Structure 1
Amino acid sequence: MPRDDFVIRIGGDTAIGGVISTGENFTVAAARLGFRTFTFRTYPAEIKGGHAWFQVRISNRPVYSLGDGCDILITFDQEAYELHKADLNEGGVLIYDSNLVAPEHDGFIEYGIPFQKIAREELDFVRGTNVLILGVMAGLFGLPPASLEEMVRNRYKRRAELMEKNLEALRHGFEYTKGIQKQDKFWLGTADHIARLIMSGNDAITAGALHSGCRYFAGYPITPASDILETMAVQLPRFGGVCLQAEDEMAALASVIGASYAGTRAMTATSGPGFSLMTELMGLASMGEIPVVIVNAQRSGPSTGMPTKLEQGDLFHAIYGGHGDFPRIVLAPASVQNCFRVTVLAFGLAEKYQMPVIILSDQSLSHRTETIEQVNVEGFPVMERLRPDGATPEDYLRYQLNDNGISPMAIPGVDPQTYVSPGLEHDERGHPRLSAGIHEAMTKKRFRKLELVRDHIDTEEFAPRYGDEPAELGIIGWGATQGSIREAVDRAREKGYKVAAMHPRCLNPLPEKRLREFIESCERILVPECNYQGQFAHHMAAELGVQPMRMNKIGGLPFTPGEIFAKIEEVLAHAYA
């Protein structure tokens, strides 16, 4: 019986070219036909050269993770074969360049094709090798070539000669497969043809920011956050906004704080090293009670670390980093679609509670693409900052001490009231005051807002539950681990285990009531996360007084559903022993 849910992995040296683009083009063509897709990519830190690979899972059904291993492995060179052969699933397919790769014939279904020789000798177009491979993929696995031809025409419509060469390579690859005796069971079949979006996490964050009224963005290029800067540079002017590439991350956040002080919704985006540089200015934004949104697309660290690899290693820094006591909100989107919603919430929370909001994404979520349902933006209202109401300029107290800590924020040049927003401790008018009493009163004022945030986010939207109630095992994850956790929970429940999961979107403050109810309904708690120290488990222990079991992974790759399912079985097997 044909398989219509399978994983394709493509690997090779970036000096050859086409590894990522081959996967991207196949993914987009499948998505346009209505198939559900979920991608993952990893690439070298070098400017040119080094091994890269792209993985796409394609299905007729909703998919939430990259899957386990790969069903189809396409290797551009011997190195790719050696690196990935162990991940090829039983009954899998190996497609390789027969002049460059010498497989070990391990029982997989093999299609050896001299791709580069064909491109060079038959097409006189070596640069079209990846397009030739794309045609072979279409022919072997049931993707109509017309959808790929349309993409080629759109891409090269201004370069007719190059367009024809690519179309010839694509058709040649497709025709070549007619001479291959198909032995595998992988076939796309028919999709539902429902129009869906295909977006990356960075795309969704950018869209969420624009919908939220962000009209100023400043940043400095850094992997894996640079896409946000690049897209904002194109899109913001169309919305009447301004995008600035600053000289460094400190200048970027400083200008974002200034823009927000002037009444404009503003955001910056960076990764770990740049986030470290921004730390002092985060304190300035919190002291001045100025709304800002900071995206940290985490990568493997410390220092320069592994710039193009995944890690969830910045949680401690996001929650606790900085000198002195100052409140900040930390959010973590769980999927590409959730990136849009969380970004809208980030702007709303920043504006309403007048403090920095940090969005913790990661390399996987930033660059992976998913097919998502079209978003009804009318269902995402935008919260506003509190403005002065009737106070004369003489009576205006920007930092008024009150019950909830939220004081009206005037916009210079728009409202008649004016104020100075100092980094020094200050009184209600914003005048510097260094007395112990003022410092204590203002610190309590700033933190009262964080308690309001705790009530705001202690809801199902911010901490959704999935699975059995009560449960033998409860899994609490954060960020991009959600999809693999969900699929692992599904497998466990199918085998008769009582398992549940919760995935909070707000990590500081925690949705305490929701988490405590979940923990009390589970016999034991497991926290999987992609860092060495178990940072979220530490945070839960400090805030909730619980000691969950930990499942930590480092090395630059995300959890697979199989890894988490194996841990579930291990934990519950010990429980039953």
Structure 2
Amino acid sequence: MSKANDLIIRVAGEGGEGIVSTGDFVAAACARAGLEVYTFKTFPAEIKGGYAMYQVRVSSERVYNQGDTFDVFCAFNGEAYELNKHLLTPGTAFVYDYPGGDFEPEIPEGVIGYPVPMSQAAKDLGSYRSKNMVAMGALSVLFNINEETLRQVLTNKFKKKGEEILGFNLKAFEKGKELGAAIQKVDNWRVADAVDPKDVIIISGNDAVGMGAILGGLEFYSAYPITPATEIAKFVATHIPKLTGTLVQAEDEIASIAQVLGASYAGRKSMTATSGPGLSLMSELLGMASMGEIPTLVVDVQRGGPSTGLPTKHEQSDLFLAIHGTHGDAPRVVLSVEDVKDCVDMTVDALNLAEEFQCPVILLSDGSLAFSTQTIPAPKPESYTIVTRKRWDGEGKYQRYVMTDDLVSPMADPGTPGGEHIATGLEHGPSGSPSWSADNHEAMHRKRFGKIQGLAENYKPVEIDGDGDADVGIITWGSTIGVAREAIARLRADGYKVKGFYPKLMWPMPVAQYEAFAKTCKKILVPEVNFQGQLSHFIRAETSIRPIPYTVCGGLPFNPAMIVNKVKEVL
């Protein structure tokens, strides 16, 4: 990817200084200008204050991840400088709050420093809170951020608050432009010029899950707020009433999954979203969803664990819990999203699979993807196939768990004449009545597990990135896939024989595809953001492959250079 068309800007400072809104404004303006955008943000778990960072990657070509590091760094305070100064390498541009800020940095050799008195200018304007507007004005001039689209974004944001507030923020923006224009620019960094706008939207991973739920025909949503999943509920709450659906804020995660089971049993397409601690609490009722064959969707936006762990940080460490997190033998489907587009499309798929196979489905996202915003094609509702559950036709004597050819039994909504049946977490026979028979228990296990086994062949289980044989095959999952894509492209450009294998269906595991891929590679490397190498564990358990785990768990995702360097080390 040409650096002339690919720029990474990082803004960092104190939480509450407008770091996140600055990044959001820049990202939205670049998207409106027809460019590709991928963002990454991290912020503290404290209510107020603490270090916050927002990184925007802008390109005229498609981007798959947040990039290695920044080309341009804008520090709002001394803490941000101290935490990032080791990344200031020759050639990077460094915009900092001086004079009038709380620090005077030492500019490393080869780094291009641009002092902008953000704090002082904001105070002179009469409000320190306008500091981020001043910074944004300076950045727009220095790095070619399209002024027209930036003004549109700012106007749309602040006009709802009145002309006075809008005018003040635009005045601060103009002051920042004036300060930026007074600086002699000596680097070549610039955002690519605007292109013809595409039919795209810019949206976060969490909002995209909410959008997918609405597009998938969601009728009932119950949730208990938890970082980093809460924004899904906020999106659904805004839109589900338009479809005459219902959202309930439950008193805890156990209540939320119980309400989802109840609403689904009553005939409504239902879901919830949570993070690792909440999924742990839901494990017993997920077992009941398996036993009762109740369509259920749980979105798990993973965060650093265990226990309360790292509430606002990135991790991919819930795979063990998602696949085996319940007592007894309880089948479920586990999917994992790669990017924001997947968050839309695969939420529709997850609702469909829950309805089609009458089982719990867990859709795994993560903290990085939850808050990342990306440009994606505007979803077209008519392009999605919507599946609803198999319902009883009213003929003959109703048996809720009757053995059918596809092992999926018709459901009867409560109140359906003749459709009365027992719903219980106890093992049961075809009628739903409790049964203690060993033969029946084994038969019902075969039914519940058997109906989802064909998924490994029928649900787009994997994507292969590359043809022929390779010295190293990279298997990875979740948002790490986007990082691997770029790493593989770089390695191929340097003459290395590398290919990728990207599963989206995590369980049931498409074992045949794993085995076939491994036969074309001399070595298998599995990068993932957890300590134990959880996907590597399942690969060893379910296949003959002996992968090389590559794990990090510091609260941040991989970048492409890390995987490039690891492949070279393996070779």
Band the TM-score falls in, shorter-chain normalisation: over 0.9
Gaps of 5+ in 1: 573-577
* Aligned AA (1:88): L
| Cα distance between partner residues in 1 of 2:299 and 2:242 | 22
Alpha-carbon shift at residue 177 of structure 1 (Å): 1.7
Q: Contact 1:426–1:433 at 8 Å: present in 2 too?
A: yes
SS in 2 for 1:516: helix
Alpha-carbon shift at residue 89 of structure 1 (Å): 4.1
- Cα deviation per residue 1:519-544 (whole Å; 9 max; x = unaligned)? 11111111000000000000111111
1:190 aligns with 2:189: no
Change (3 A) 1:194 1:415: farther
| Cα distance between partner residues in 2 of 1:499 and 1:191 | 34
| Cα distance between partner residues in 2 of 1:334 and 1:263 | 31
| Cα distance between partner residues in 1 of 2:550 and 2:417 | 52
- Cα deviation per residue 1:125-170 (whole Å; 9 max; x = unaligned)? 2111101101111111112323222222222224221111101001
SS in 2 for 1:281: helix
1:284 aligns with 2:283: no
* Moved segments of 4+, more than 6 Å: none
1:246 aligns with 2:250: yes
Alpha-carbon shift at residue 390 of structure 1 (Å): 4.4
| Cα distance between partner residues in 2 of 1:101 and 1:113 | 12
Match of 1:269 in 2: 273
Matched length: 565
1:161 aligns with 2:164: yes
Match of 1:41 in 2: 41
Q: Contact 2:400–2:430 at 8 Å: present in 1 too?
A: yes
1:109-508 aligned at under 5 Å gives the runs 109-121=112-124, 123-157=125-159, 158-195=161-198, 196-392=200-396, 395-414=397-416, 416-457=418-459, 461-508=460-507
Alpha-carbon shift at residue 415 of structure 1 (Å): 6.0
SS in 1 for 2:527: strand
1:32 aligns with 2:28: no
| Cα distance between partner residues in 1 of 2:146 and 2:327 | 58
| Cα distance between partner residues in 2 of 1:454 and 1:148 | 46
Alpha-carbon shift at residue 403 of structure 1 (Å): 4.3
SS in 2 for 1:479: coil
| Cα distance between partner residues in 2 of 1:416 and 1:455 | 37
RMSD: 1.4
- Cα deviation per residue 1:169-225 (whole Å; 9 max; x = unaligned)? 011111222211001111124232232211111111111111111110000000000
Match of 2:65 in 1: 65
Q: Contact 1:32–1:193 at 8 Å: present in 2 too?
A: no
* Aligned AA (2:186): Q
TM-score (norm 1): 0.96
- Cα deviation per residue 1:76-101 (whole Å; 9 max; x = unaligned)? 11110010112234300111111322
Q: Contact 1:69–1:88 at 8 Å: present in 2 too?
A: no
Q: Contact 1:70–1:89 at 8 Å: present in 2 too?
A: no
Gaps of 5+ in 2: none
Match of 1:11 in 2: 12
| Cα distance between partner residues in 2 of 1:79 and 1:255 | 45
Q: Contact 2:475–2:501 at 8 Å: present in 1 too?
A: yes
| Cα distance between partner residues in 1 of 2:203 and 2:478 | 17
| Cα distance between partner residues in 2 of 1:11 and 1:434 | 62
| Cα distance between partner residues in 2 of 1:201 and 1:119 | 33
Match of 1:515 in 2: 514
Alpha-carbon shift at residue 465 of structure 1 (Å): 0.8
Match of 1:534 in 2: 533
* Aligned AA (2:128): V
SS in 1 for 2:490: helix
1:54 aligns with 2:17: no
SS in 2 for 1:7: strand
Q: Contact 1:7–1:72 at 8 Å: present in 2 too?
A: yes
Q: Contact 1:2–1:185 at 8 Å: present in 2 too?
A: no
| Cα distance between partner residues in 1 of 2:195 and 2:470 | 36
- Cα deviation per residue 1:324-374 (whole Å; 9 max; x = unaligned)? 111000000111101111111111111111100000110011110111122
SS in 1 for 2:254: helix
Change (3 A) 1:403 1:256: same
SS in 2 for 1:551: strand
